[in-house]
Structure 1
């Protein structure tokens, strides 16, 4: 497994490609974004991830890593492309996987390994195999219900489970779930990940691996929803939720998480809907947790509007609101599914307020917020009548906030 092709050079694909290259494999990373390809081939990175750029630079300089707009034949192919949902029913959108399947199929030769890493609904790996088989009737592909049968191509589902900000470390140290369509597919995929993974390689089948990934994130979502619901209830009862949780967590068997402005990112905010979509009558707790966490940004907006109304009654016609943080979690630049972005978008639609956006980890606003004004932290703090802390960035934790001004603290910094 010396030649590896990685489809998708984003927050998971690029670190994964770099790690394989760093440990001796020859890696082609494929992406549809020309800017990303050009940046990587210069030994630089287009995302924020501590420790990654040095590894990418070394791998590019050594000739082990190259980015490209088109794939080449390899011994193993890893697919790490987006899998969003669409519509009010949160139907999984597998169009990116479908596109990769069509691009990959002509390159396949007997004995190749295909690994899907993209977070996907149960059955997505089997669907991918159908698409590959349609393109390559000359090859045999594994079947989920025939785990002992051999095939020309080995296929597995192996989800990532890394934390943004610690991806370089966790890619190596975390255990991996290796879900082959057949037993031999599982073994072949394990050989691929043994190139750099020091954690355990846990063998299972593709459906169980797909469901394991969704289960992990749904579990987190339910736990966060409990904390977010507590924060809403505590506010109504005039209770400090941060003190409440700290006291409750002194119980030896209680570990309540911290509430926030909602839940974001491409995993926890998305994956539980894959379970709900396929199991609408059974996934009651999972659906409710998603609804609570999706509602929390609206609750935060309501708190901000309440402070705006107070200032208007005091004669301030157009209060200035500073929104601190746009990323979906602290100390990263990833804005995907960010509740803070949703809050900012809603606030920018209100003509009677001046909105200042602060996000120290980006240089320009995403297209959905181009009507906004990205400012430095000091400037925002100086001008703001109302401060809403939406993300717990380390820069914000260093501030001695002026509590004589209106502060909505969604993350427990003040």
Structure 2
């Protein structure tokens, strides 16, 4: 018989994954408490408001809060299930920084009474979920954790990585298949019952380490393919060829499907996750490491191309269009566009850089401190500039009046104005 979950859920981390997960559960009748360290996020959610841009999420937050199914707090409460959805950045040596996960576990431990399940959604290296079980065992020696029990445990631990695309989170969270890995089979089954509340795709049960590796593999695969396109674009540029035209023709082969190049790779997944594989097996992950290095280098190449074009003018103004890591969202995490803009501004301190980003009202702190940067509407940026660098393919830029570009040096990293 398929297990049905009907308890209370605490979601630790109300970011781009945690909040949509909380809403998906709350709008289907589950009582959810969202926990976050940012008071502004907690206040916004408590008012039924969205602290970031994500299509279709605002109405879900408002509805879940208004019917009393979703609340927000800065304190970890008692619950029947805990979903950890906190950041997992990488350190300077590209190893995973799991300190946010460890802090979340430390806050959960005092609340446990026995029978709860702790689910890690944060992308993490193989063995992280096992680490959670061991950490809980140290913090709560009065409870039996699954890694130390061949039979029934007091607490269950599992990993269920998110696999959604920003801009389509509320659709894909429901329709995509889910991988659920438990420290034991029973842990996986307990976790799967929670995701069955809203998931319509298949739920695949496995062990925790395999689930962790599967998520990293998905994004490393995508990163390697993007790196091929980006390296090809560099080669075509050196040969004075149109990379998009070359790729378009190559893709007419029935067994070829090359991606389009861009200014780099950003976001909380593809730009980060492959490094976790490299860190786990550094001597064996040569291709994955090289792909990461190619994609990490691309923003520098783009920035220097723009800088070189400035030498054509006595007193140039440069427009940089876009800061987000992908089109039509406000997410700047690991964005190559931010790196590019910063490098241009620092390389040309006496040149005015006009930045257009329709999904934000302020520059991120690392850019706001640069005196030659200003955030302006796209039309003004293009109209008053000599050089236009398109960094993000927002719909607003796609539909821009091309006559605005007349007489300007244009560097289109997305190939939308070809």
Q: Normalized against structure 2, the TM-score is what? A: 0.96
Q: Is the 8 A contact 1:319 1:352 kept in 2?
A: no
Distance 2:102 2:117 in 1: 17
SS of residue in 1 equivalent to 2:312: helix
Greater alpha carbon shift after TM alignment, 124-133 vs 110-119? 124-133
The CA deviation at 1:403 is 4.5
Mapping 1:192-203, distance limit 5 Å? 192-203=194-205
Mapping 1:205-224, distance limit 5 Å? 205-224=207-226
Q: Could you say which residue in structure 1 is the equivalent of 2:389?
A: 388
SS of residue in 1 equivalent to 2:9: strand
Please give the per-residue CA displacement for 1:116-169, whole angstroms capped at 9, x wherever unaligned.
Answer: 00000111111111211111000011118x7x5321111100000000000001
Distance 2:97 2:249 in 1: 42
RMSD over aligned CA atoms reads 1.0
Mapping 1:399-414, distance limit 5 Å? 399-401=400-402, 402-414=405-417
SS of residue in 2 equivalent to 1:71: coil
Instruction: State yes or no: 1:345 paired with 2:342.
Output: yes
Mapping 1:148-297, distance limit 5 Å? 149-297=151-299
The CA deviation at 1:290 is 0.1
Q: Is the 8 A contact 1:149 1:182 kept in 2?
A: no
Please give the per-residue CA displacement for 1:344-403, whole angstroms capped at 9, x wherever unaligned.
Answer: 111221213210111000011111111221100111011110000001100000023325
Q: Could you say which residue in structure 1 is the equivalent of 2:3?
A: none
The CA deviation at 1:310 is 2.0
Distance 1:53 1:23 in 2: 16
SS of residue in 1 equivalent to 2:180: strand
Q: Could you say which residue in structure 1 is the equivalent of 2:320?
A: 323
SS of residue in 2 equivalent to 1:165: coil
Please give the per-residue CA displacement for 1:309-347, whole angstroms capped at 9, x wherever unaligned.
Answer: 122xxxx2x311100000000000000000000011112
Aligned counterpart for 1:361 among listed residues 359, 363, 382: 359
Distance 1:65 1:375 in 2: 37
Distance 1:34 1:118 in 2: 21
Q: Is the 8 A contact 1:327 1:335 kept in 2?
A: yes
Distance 1:168 1:85 in 2: 27
Q: Could you say which residue in structure 2 is the equivalent of 1:31?
A: 36
The CA deviation at 1:304 is 0.3
Q: Could you say which residue in structure 2 is the equivalent of 1:126?
A: 130
SS of residue in 1 equivalent to 2:301: helix
Distance 2:221 2:249 in 1: 23
Q: Could you say which residue in structure 1 is the equivalent of 2:49?
A: 44
Q: Is the 8 A contact 2:132 2:157 kept in 1?
A: no
Mapping 1:76-155, distance limit 5 Å? 76-87=81-92, 89-143=93-147, 149-155=151-157
Q: Is the 8 A contact 1:30 1:67 kept in 2?
A: yes
The CA deviation at 1:200 is 0.5
What is the number of residues matched between the two proteins? 406
Distance 2:181 2:360 in 1: 36
Distance 2:214 2:406 in 1: 44
Please give the per-residue CA displacement for 1:234-258, whole angstroms capped at 9, x wherever unaligned.
Answer: 0111111111111111111111111
Distance 2:401 2:75 in 1: 51
Distance 1:351 1:194 in 2: 54
Q: Is the 8 A contact 1:28 1:66 kept in 2?
A: yes
What stretches of structure 1 of length at least 5 have no aligned partner? none
What stretches of structure 2 of length at least 5 have no aligned partner? 1-5
Q: Is the 8 A contact 1:129 1:141 kept in 2?
A: yes
Distance 2:344 2:134 in 1: 45
Instruction: Point out 4+ residue stretches in structure 1 off by more than 3 angstroms.
Output: none
Q: Could you say which residue in structure 2 is the equivalent of 1:378?
A: 379
Q: Is the 8 A contact 2:304 2:344 kept in 1?
A: no
SS of residue in 2 equivalent to 1:196: coil
SS of residue in 2 equivalent to 1:179: strand
